[in-house]
């Protein structure tokens, strides 16, 4: 598959991952916090997960395939120039996203109630902020905004 088709798929998945999290963080979550009803978040996630998780997986697969086109895996964390730094930062942010997701899945979601909803809200805010940052870093690769 050529680079341009990989970028097309990568960008489509970014729309789903980032867009879904913005809807969750800015619309669904405030409503759940106001009403103190974790079910509102659970209901959204049960629908979103079916599309959002495959999108993130495809995002990672296409991201890795694109990164391999630019450089060998042994150079991914060398931060030796602009291109290497972009890929290194993206991978670190991806690991942070996974760490937050695993922590929420294992320690918060199993006993989700009105009492620990605020803790889940912090996780959602962090994952959303990281998703937007990854989108910006992705665009910055070609556009050199900063």
Name the site residues for ligand HEM (rule: CB under 6 A).
7, 10-11, 14, 17-18, 59-60, 63-64, 66-67, 70, 87, 90-91, 94, 131, 134-135, 138-139, 141-142
The residue (of 106 and 143) whose beta carbon lies closer to ligand HEM is 143
Per the CB < 8 A criterion, the answer to whether 97 and 131 are in contact is yes
The residue (of 84 and 116) whose beta carbon lies closer to ligand HEM is 84
The residue (of 38 and 138) whose beta carbon lies closer to ligand HEM is 138
**CA separation for the pair 9, 7 (Å, rounded):** 5
Other CB atoms within 10 Å distance of the CB of residue 145: 9
The residue (of 94 and 112) whose beta carbon lies closer to ligand HEM is 94
**CA separation for the pair 61, 55 (Å, rounded):** 10
How near is the Cβ of 34 to ligand HEM at its closest, in Å? 28
How near is the Cβ of 81 to ligand HEM at its closest, in Å? 13
Tell me the C-alpha to C-alpha distance, in Å, between residue 30 and each of 46, 59, 107, 125, 146.
18, 27, 22, 11, 32
Per the CB < 8 A criterion, the answer to whether 49 and 62 are in contact is no
How near is the Cβ of 52 to ligand HEM at its closest, in Å? 10
The residue (of 37 and 75) whose beta carbon lies closer to ligand HEM is 75
How near is the Cβ of 24 to ligand HEM at its closest, in Å? 14
Other CB atoms within 10 Å distance of the CB of residue 14: 20
């Amino acid at each position: 598959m050529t680079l341009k088709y990989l970028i097309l798929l990568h960008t489509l998945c970014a729309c789903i991952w980032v867009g879904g999290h913005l809807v969750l963080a800015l619309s669904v979550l405030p409503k759940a916090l106001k009403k103190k009803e974790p079910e509102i978040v659970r209901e959204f996630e049960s629908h979103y997960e079916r599309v959002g998780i495959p999108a993130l997986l495809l995002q990672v697969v296409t991201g890795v395939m694109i990164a391999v086109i630019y450089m060998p895996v042994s150079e991914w964390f060398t931060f030796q120039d602009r291109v290497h730094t972009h890929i290194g930062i993206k991978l670190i942010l991806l690991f942070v996203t996974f760490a937050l997701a695993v922590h929420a899945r294992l320690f918060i979601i199993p006993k989700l109630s009105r009492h620990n909803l605020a803790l889940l809200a912090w996780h959602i805010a962090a994952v959303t902020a990281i998703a937007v940052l990854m989108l910006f870093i992705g665009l910055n690769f070609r556009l050199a905004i900063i």
